[in-house]
Structure 1
Amino acid sequence: MQTLIEVRNLGIAYGRPGSWTNVVQGVSFDIARGEAFGLVGESGCGKSTVAYRLLGYGAVNSLAQTGEVLFDGIDLLKLDARSLARLRGKRIALVPQNPTTSLSPGMRVGTQIREMIATHKALPAGMTMERRLAELFALVGLPDVGHRFPHELSGGQQQRVTIAMAVSCNPDLLVLDEPTTGLDVTTQRQIIQLLKDLRSSIGMAMLYVTHDLALLSQIADRVGVMYAGQLVEVAPCDALLSAPVHPYSRGLIASIPTIDGASSGRGLRGMLRRDQIPGGCKFEPRCDFAKADCKSIPQTLEPVEKHRAVACMRWKDIEPAVAALTRRARSPRPDIDAGSVLSVEDLALSYQSPSVLRTLLGKADSIVARDIGFELKSGEVVALVGESGSGKSTIARAISGRLEPRSGKIRLDGDALAPVLRQRSVEQLRQIQYIFQNPDASLNPRRRIKTILERPLRHFGIKSDATTLETVLESVGLHAGYLNRYPEQLSGGERQRIAIARALLVSPKLLICDEILSALDVSVQSRIVELLQSLKKRHSVAMLFISHDLAVVQQLADRVAVLYRGELLQMAETATLLESPLHPYTQMLLQAAPGLRRDQYVASPPAIPGETSAGGQGCPLAGRCPRQIGTVCAESRPPLRKTETGFIRCHMPSIQLARGDQLAVA
């Protein structure tokens, strides 16, 4: 295949004149026309830094010290700002990680795409702008949503809009920076299916930056593995995931959680400490196979097999990575007689329309959740799973006091909680701590990490000494050197670890974890999961764990509650739910979860933007359920049926669901 872009010996440093710190060294790879190349590695390894150089982007405090980035023979590192502006969007386009911050909140999404096309004069001859917009929305699986503002779309729909914008000028190369982070499994699959379809129809190449190797396996042709700013292995995707050669690649893949709890070896130990990198192999401090000379002899990427290169002089001496899968031991469920920490009873939630609109237009409140009821015991983890827009975070907001319930009760240690934050006591506020999904919005960018961590201690009057902050940082995989940094000096994964540390400092009884692992690489995920398991064991901390990653849920949760369009459809012990899912929607979620091998899963069409609130007369899954027959499901609400370890809300009895029977027409 013809090479489209080639990166040669790229070296990048951060700092200022006279004081530069190398963060990327000697990175070389190429991408052919129509090829999908994945770039993976732990948070802070430099993969996004490299990716943005393919668009000519660099932070004001960064410098490309060595190398070339050749796009169709033109070195992007030598182009002026005007030439780069003509190139970006038209021939090389970007799909960013967070569509919420990349889409202008004050502009309709159609206007934003129209601006891109007009800027690059990329409207096809003989086609009107409106027709082109409709064509682009159809291309990404959306109806015409051009009149909507970004906040009127779900996260998955927003990401589809950014993809429509990125491909609006038919670029040759699409750079994707964690495009599915934070999205639920079914939406992730829809996005991957969309990218595969676009690749075949438009023929564009892709650089896909991610920490999700399971998802990458569904789209990438080749993968480059980065560690501490250096490529340590480049190989075809299937070969890398089935038989990794470099010790770091082996540990990274072994760290990936699976739904069945199986492991293919030992995961990564320790963490990257750039201040302790030796002069030889950078991975030596964490390598299980290191010898004395590894510490002093630098390793560079060298061809070892056809289409594979590895930066390890001992790769031939290491036993093959393929090993029998072993099942990870699950921690036992907490004692059933443990005291109740949180109780939610018949909770109904709505977002109120402004009173003027309700009066003038007769507009009713939008009910987003109803009949929500569950209990959390001391030391128990209950996972809340479901697609984007199902109401998971809305329920968490109500429990934390940031959204007043329409009806129902929330109790903490048996005492009824006031519906809103301002009416709760200081002690109740301390006992419930919320860890948000997006640390960019939850950490003050103008304060150093030390100040951010000290603030809750002062607010709740908690005494601390000099080692308190260092201890909590170590517990989340960081070190004392981070205390004097600002959030902008940290990677996304490091910022999230700071947010977790801040919540842990005040010793809460209940942690509300809202997609807290979605931005973290698998090795850090593993450390955080171990930390949370330790907390629940040693301090009996209860957790409401909101996640779309069912493999992580398998590791951590004792019970799982499945939510869809504001209604709990099933609740069961984790092992029971994952091994024998009963509800058709639970089965759909499990089928969508990707493994480390490319599969034949076909993503269902995305939901049409519109009313997704709870409150309809029938089952919320009606019209989408693969086991629906007749009009029973659409016209009558399914009953709540008890199961051995929980409940299920379905017209079909549990025994028939387990047998795979079809619903009989009433």
Structure 2
Amino acid sequence: MKKLIEIRNLNIAYGGPSGWTNVVQSVCFEIARGEAFGLVGESGCGKSTVAYRLLGYGTINSLVQTGEVLFDGTDLLKLDATSLRRLRGNRIAVVPQNPTTSLSPSMRVGSQIREMIATHKALPDGMTMERRIVELFSLVGLPDVGRRYPHELSGGQQQRVAIAMAVACNPDLLVLDEPTTGLDVTTQRQIIQLLSDLRARIGMAMLYVTHDLALLAQIADRVGVMYAGQLVEVAPCDQLLAAPAHPYSRGLIASIPTVDDTNRRTQGLRGVLRRDQMPTGCKFEPRCDLATTTCRTTPQLLEPLEDRRAVACMRWQVAAAHQAADNQTRPNPKFAAKPERLLSIADLNLSYRSPGIFDRFFRKTPPPVVRDIDLELRFGEVVALVGESGSGKSTIARAISGRLPPLAGLISLDGSLLAPALKDRTVEQLRQIQYIFQNPDASLNPRRRIRVTLARPLDHFGRQVNEKTLETVLEHVGLHAGYLDRFPEQLSGGERQRIAIARALLVNPKVLICDEILSALDVSVQARIVELLRSLKEEHAVAMLFISHDLAVVQKLADRVAVLYRGELMQLADTNTLLGTPLHPYTEMLLEAAPGLRKDGHVSRPPAAPTFKAVPGIGCPFAGRCPRQPGSVCADTRPPVHETGNGFVRCHLPVDGLGRHARTPERARSSAVEDTRLQSL
């Protein structure tokens, strides 16, 4: 295949008070036309630094020391600003990690796409601008949302708009920087399916930067693994995931939990990356279980192997021999929660709209976005709250923490009723419930060093502040004492998230609200954080409401799982039961979309135009999208709640007619009778 882009011996350094620090060293790889190449590694390994150099982007304190970035034979590092602007968006486009910050909040999304097409004069012959914009929206699976502002779209819709803008000029190369981080599994699959379709239709190549190897398995042809600024392995995707050669690749893959292998052992890599303590030889030597004294002093370079593979390790054959032992499945026990109830939620209804003057006059309440939630947490229990974006997961978390007073319902902690609003709660109640936010960029003060950020909650709750305490909590989240004197802007996204987690743990809470806290972390750190949360649960009986899109992590950590859809609980059960034999059709849909480490060919089902549209609070919220909907009864009638022994399911179909394996001959006859009865209602 003909090379589209080739990176040769790329070296990049960042400048600071202590001089220049080399962050990318001797990176070499190429991408052929139409090929999808994945770039993976832990936070801070340099993968985004390399990716953005393909568009000529670099921070003001960065310097390309040596190397070439050849795009169709032209060295991008030698182009002036005007030439780069002609390429960006036209022949090389980028889909950023956070579409919220990349889309202008003051412009309608249609105008932003119009600007891209007009800038590069890329309107196809015989087509009007309006028709082209509608065509691009259709290409990414959206209706005509051109007149909407970004804040009027969900996160998944914003990401689709960003992709539509990126492909507006039919680029030869698409650079994707974590394009699905924070999206729910069904939306992730729709985005991956969309990218695969666009790649086949337009013939563009892709550089996909991510830490999600399970998702990468569904789209990438080849993968490059980076560590400490160096490529340590390049291999076809399926070969890398099945039999990694480098010890670091092996450790990364061993860290990945998957829903299709319940007993597979996951374990974070030993130690942390310390750029200030790098050996002269292999950079991974301080963390490698197979390293020798020779590894510490002998530099390792990529050496070609058979089957289009390359690895930078003199002991890769020894590592391969250890692979079989690591692949053995091991039990993954869950620690039993105490029977005492710690947190209780009863008949909770939430709305973001306060009652207006007419509401009060006519004694009406604003329409709730979350309704009739009953949930409880026991001491030492982890309850996972799962569902698509916009289902109300974070809204419930905000109400528990006091940031959103409920329209109706009660929340109690350890037998005491909690005041609805945060300002009315006692200092001790505030300490006992700690919230870890999804976006650390908005929850860390950019003007305060990490030392001050961590010391503040200790001081606020009357705890002693000392250096050892701060260093210990950093070690728990995979960081070291050198981070205490840094500002948030000097940290990667994953490192900032670890600081946010450390801050919440410092005051020894009884309840942790974890709102997508792992979505920005690489898989090795995820495994370490999961083990940390498990130890808090086991040793200190800390209860957790764990909001996540990652069902594999939920499987490893949670005791029970609550499935939420459009503000209503669809199913609640213990984790093994719910993930092993899901009952509600929506639960089935979520599990089918969860990726594994093998390409599965799953075709995601996007939301369809509802045949029967339910009135909120009256019919089933899943009506119109449900593949097993028996008729209009789902839209007109509130679904009954069926007790299931360890939980419940809310559905018009009988329990024996639900689930993947429910349609045995005997049950099929029973369900057919029930379906006929429902359709006659």
TM-score normalised per structure 1: 0.96
Deviates more, 1:391-400 or 1:652-661: 652-661
Check 1:98–1:606 CA distance in 2 against 1; reply closer, same or farther (3 A cut). Answer: farther
Q: Distance in 1 between matches of 2:504 and 2:17?
A: 38
In structure 1, the partner of 2:148 is 148
**Runs of at least 4 residues off by over 6 Å:** 356-360, 611-614
What is the SS of the residue equivalent to 2:675?
A: coil
Q: Distance in 2 between matches of 1:73 and 1:359?
A: 69
In structure 2, the partner of 1:376 is 377
- Residue 570, structure 1, aligned to residue 577, structure 2: no
Describe the superposition over 1:178-233 as per-residue Cα deviations: whole angstroms up to 9, x where unpaired. 00000010000000000000001111100000000010000000000001110000
The answer to whether the 8 Å contact 2:266/2:527 transfers is no
Q: Distance in 1 between matches of 2:110 and 2:364?
A: 26
Q: What amino acid sits opposite 1:47 in the alignment? A: K
Q: What amino acid sits opposite 1:19 in the alignment? A: G
Q: Distance in 1 between matches of 2:66 and 2:53?
A: 12
Percent same amino acid among aligned pairs?
74
- Displacement, 1:419? 1.1
What is the 5 A alignment of 1:255-266? 255-259=255-259, 260-263=261-264
- Residue 112, structure 1, aligned to residue 112, structure 2: yes
In structure 2, the partner of 1:326 is 329
Q: Distance in 2 between matches of 1:645 and 1:529?
A: 24
- Residue 123, structure 1, aligned to residue 143, structure 2: no
Check 1:79–1:236 CA distance in 2 against 1; reply closer, same or farther (3 A cut). Answer: same
In structure 2, the partner of 1:397 is 398
The answer to whether the 8 Å contact 1:143/1:608 transfers is no
Describe the superposition over 1:497-547 as per-residue Cα deviations: whole angstroms up to 9, x where unpaired. 000011111111111100000010110000100111111112111110000
- Displacement, 1:620? 1.1
Deviates more, 1:55-64 or 1:110-119: 110-119
- Displacement, 1:265? 7.5
Q: What amino acid sits opposite 1:375 in the alignment? A: E
Gaps of 5+ in 1: none
Deviates more, 1:314-323 or 1:535-544: 314-323
- Residue 208, structure 1, aligned to residue 208, structure 2: yes
Check 1:634–1:18 CA distance in 2 against 1; reply closer, same or farther (3 A cut). Answer: closer
Q: Distance in 2 between matches of 1:410 and 1:311?
A: 55
The answer to whether the 8 Å contact 2:435/2:504 transfers is yes
Q: Distance in 2 between matches of 1:526 and 1:121?
A: 47
What is the SS of the residue equivalent to 2:588?
A: helix
The answer to whether the 8 Å contact 2:281/2:296 transfers is yes
Q: Distance in 1 between matches of 2:56 and 2:331?
A: 44
What is the SS of the residue equivalent to 1:531?
A: helix
- Displacement, 1:614? 7.9
1:664 corresponds, among 645, 652, 675, to: 675
In structure 2, the partner of 1:385 is 386
Describe the superposition over 1:33-86 as per-residue Cα deviations: whole angstroms up to 9, x where unpaired. 111000001111111111011110001111111101111111111112221112
The answer to whether the 8 Å contact 2:613/2:624 transfers is no
What is the 5 A alignment of 1:347-496? 347-352=348-353, 355=356, 365-496=366-497
The answer to whether the 8 Å contact 2:218/2:601 transfers is no
Describe the superposition over 1:229-277 as per-residue Cα deviations: whole angstroms up to 9, x where unpaired. 1000000111111111111111111110122433268652222122222
- Displacement, 1:595? 0.6
The answer to whether the 8 Å contact 1:443/1:487 transfers is yes
Gaps of 5+ in 2: none
- Displacement, 1:317? 3.5
In structure 1, the partner of 2:176 is 176
Describe the superposition over 1:449-468 as per-residue Cα deviations: whole angstroms up to 9, x where unpaired. 11111111222222222211
- Displacement, 1:8? 0.4
- Displacement, 1:5? 0.6
Check 1:171–1:381 CA distance in 2 against 1; reply closer, same or farther (3 A cut). Answer: same
- Displacement, 1:493? 0.6
The answer to whether the 8 Å contact 1:187/1:606 transfers is no
In structure 1, the partner of 2:247 is 247
Q: Distance in 2 between matches of 1:475 and 1:613?
A: 47
- Displacement, 1:613? 10
* Coordinate RMSD, CA, aligned: 2.1
In structure 1, the partner of 2:54 is 54
Describe the superposition over 1:359-393 as per-residue Cα deviations: whole angstroms up to 9, x where unpaired. 99x99834211110110011111000001111101
What is the 5 A alignment of 1:525-544? 525-544=526-545
Check 1:625–1:50 CA distance in 2 against 1; reply closer, same or farther (3 A cut). Answer: same
In structure 2, the partner of 1:279 is 280
Q: What amino acid sits opposite 1:231 in the alignment? A: L
Q: Distance in 1 between matches of 2:200 and 2:400?
A: 46
What is the SS of the residue equivalent to 1:571?
A: strand
Q: Distance in 1 between matches of 2:527 and 2:358?
A: 48
Q: Distance in 2 between matches of 1:613 and 1:516?
A: 33
In structure 1, the partner of 2:36 is 36
Q: What amino acid sits opposite 2:369 in the alignment? A: V
- Displacement, 1:328? 3.4
Check 1:629–1:226 CA distance in 2 against 1; reply closer, same or farther (3 A cut). Answer: same
In structure 1, the partner of 2:226 is 226
Q: Distance in 2 between matches of 1:428 and 1:188?
A: 37
- Displacement, 1:332? 2.5
Check 1:552–1:80 CA distance in 2 against 1; reply closer, same or farther (3 A cut). Answer: same
The answer to whether the 8 Å contact 2:608/2:624 transfers is no
Q: Distance in 1 between matches of 2:568 and 2:53?
A: 45
In structure 1, the partner of 2:192 is 192
The answer to whether the 8 Å contact 1:253/1:267 transfers is no
- Displacement, 1:607? 6.0
The answer to whether the 8 Å contact 1:56/1:76 transfers is yes
The answer to whether the 8 Å contact 1:368/1:614 transfers is no
TM-score normalised per structure 2: 0.94
- Displacement, 1:16? 4.5
The answer to whether the 8 Å contact 2:268/2:526 transfers is no
The answer to whether the 8 Å contact 1:396/1:512 transfers is yes
- Displacement, 1:580? 1.3
Check 1:182–1:558 CA distance in 2 against 1; reply closer, same or farther (3 A cut). Answer: same
What is the SS of the residue equivalent to 1:483?
A: helix
- Displacement, 1:327? 3.4
What is the SS of the residue equivalent to 1:628?
A: coil
The answer to whether the 8 Å contact 1:565/1:614 transfers is no
The answer to whether the 8 Å contact 1:232/1:246 transfers is yes
- Displacement, 1:648? 0.9
- Displacement, 1:290? 1.2
The answer to whether the 8 Å contact 2:561/2:572 transfers is yes
In structure 2, the partner of 1:103 is 103
Deviates more, 1:464-473 or 1:649-658: 649-658
Describe the superposition over 1:416-445 as per-residue Cα deviations: whole angstroms up to 9, x where unpaired. 111111111122111111111011111111
Describe the superposition over 1:329-375 as per-residue Cα deviations: whole angstroms up to 9, x where unpaired. 2223213x22x221000101112178489899x99834211110110
Check 1:270–1:615 CA distance in 2 against 1; reply closer, same or farther (3 A cut). Answer: same
Deviates more, 1:84-93 or 1:20-29: 84-93
Q: Distance in 2 between matches of 1:476 and 1:545?
A: 17
